[in-house]
Amino acid sequence: MSRNCAYESSEMNKLLGETLRLGGFDLTDKGVACCHWTSADLLLDLGCGQGATVSYLDKTHGLKAVGIDPSQKLLATARKNNPDNTFQIGSGEAIPFPDDLFQGVLSECTLSLMTDMTAALKEVYRVMKNNGTFFITDVYARNPESLEAMKVHQFESCMRGLYDLKQLEDDVESAGFEIILIEDYSELLKQLLVKTIFEFGSMNAFWQKTGGACAAGFQDALKMCKPGYYMMIARKVE
Ligand SMILES: C[S@@+](CC[C@H](N)C(=O)[O-])C[C@H]1O[C@@H](n2cnc3c(N)ncnc32)[C@H](O)[C@@H]1O
């Protein structure tokens, strides 16, 4: 990846573990329960990172998923840790699969990293079967008026790509999906903040170690946006 990628850092791994996101598998389980996928379905894990979800879906729920990610480094770990599962290089903006293939797409803390959200949503719609379900967990700005100040920070972390959730809802619907569920999990961010300070001493120390987001103004801009966390489930309608 060309930009500074926090997810490839050992500090991020230490903080979050094999799942490079908030909520571990608890939110994945909620998604599985709501989406009613079966072992006959093929799923796509968009931005699979180290492959933890692909493996978990297989071993715990008997669900078949393939993972794509633009990071060669994370894909190498995914393949090494999960030799029985399938992982491919790819990005949300150009999904390397044919139309109407997947019954479900999971995007766990990855949509906020897309460089072109419109293209990514169009791609997810294209590769999904009609009535397929799109499961998203990610960060958002509870104070979207302050998002402008975040745009100057090129750091590759979902915090850089915080959403205006209302705007995202509009974008998801414009792409052809019907939103069936949105739930707030901002409490998980507070827990992570406490854990980060406990392990690294301060947020500043953590951001410095992960590669540069300590750049002047980043943390102030972040605080102003009031980061939150959500789960969304949307269905493809034709
Ligand atoms: C927060 S991590 C989440 C990884 C994984 N979903 C998990 O929950 O463990 C974000 C992931 O998105 C990937 N990513 C970054 N840009 C992407 C893009 N344009 N399309 C798909 N994935 C992307 C990163 O390489 C990273 O693996």
Ligand 1, pocket residues at CB < 6 Å: 7, 19-21, 46-49, 52-53, 69-71, 74, 91-93, 108-110, 113-115, 158
Question: pLDDT digits over 110-152, tens only?
Answer: 998 898 999 999 999 999 999 999 999 999 999 998 888 777 6
Q: Please indicate, yes or no, if residue 228 is contained in any of the structural domains.
A: yes
Q: In this prediction, what percent of the chain has a pLDDT beyond 70?
A: 91
Q: Is the pLDDT of residue 2 over 50?
A: no
pTM comes to 0.90
The pLDDT score that the predictor gives to residue 231 is: 97
Return the residue whose CA atom lies nearest to atom 27 of ligand 1.
49
DSSP state of 53: H
Q: Please indicate, yes or no, if residue 179 is contained in any of the structural domains.
A: yes
Question: pLDDT digits over 15-38, tens only?
Answer: 877 887 888 899 999 999 999 999
Q: Is the pLDDT of residue 3 over 60?
A: no
Q: Please indicate, yes or no, if residue 75 is contained in any of the structural domains.
A: yes
Q: Is the pLDDT of residue 86 over 50?
A: yes
CA 197 – ligand 1 centroid, Å: 24
Question: pLDDT digits over 182-214, tens only?
Answer: 999 999 988 888 888 888 888 778 877 776 555
d(CA 105, CA 132): 8
The pLDDT score that the predictor gives to residue 185 is: 96
Which long-range CB contacts under 8 A does 192-201 form with residues at least 24 apart? 192/15, 192/22, 195/15, 196/15, 199/14, 199/15, 200/11, 200/15
The pLDDT score that the predictor gives to residue 5 is: 65
Ligand 1 atom closest to the CA of 91, numbered from 1: 20
Structure tokens at 122: 């169009």
Return the residue whose CA atom lies nearest to atom 15 of ligand 1.
113
Q: Please indicate, yes or no, if residue 102 is contained in any of the structural domains.
A: yes
Q: Is the pLDDT of residue 9 over 90?
A: no
- Cα–Cα–Cα angle for 37, 116, 71, rounded to 5 degrees: 70
Probe residue for ligand 1, chosen from 95, 109, 113, 124 as the CB with the greatest number of ligand atoms within 8 Å: 113
Q: Please indicate, yes or no, if residue 32 is contained in any of the structural domains.
A: yes
CA 156 – ligand 1 centroid, Å: 10
Of the pLDDT bands very low, low, confident and very high (cuts 50, 70, 90), residue 153 is low
Range of the domain at 228: 6-236
Q: Please indicate, yes or no, if residue 1 is contained in any of the structural domains.
A: no
d(CA 105, CA 116): 18
The pLDDT score that the predictor gives to residue 1 is: 40
Report the pLDDT averaged over residues 155-176: 85
224 Rama sector, left if φ>0, alpha if ψ -120 to 50, beta otherwise: alpha
- Say how many domains are in the chain: 1
What is the chain's mean pLDDT, rounded? 89
Q: In terms of Cα–Cα distance, which of 39, 133, 126, 51 is closest to 86?
A: 51
Q: Please indicate, yes or no, if residue 71 is contained in any of the structural domains.
A: yes
Give residues with Cβ within 8 angstroms of 180, minimum separation 6: 34, 133, 233, 234, 235
Any idea what the CATH number is for the domain that residue 216 is in?
3.40.50.150
Q: In terms of Cα–Cα distance, which of 155, 150, 127 is closest to 227?
A: 150
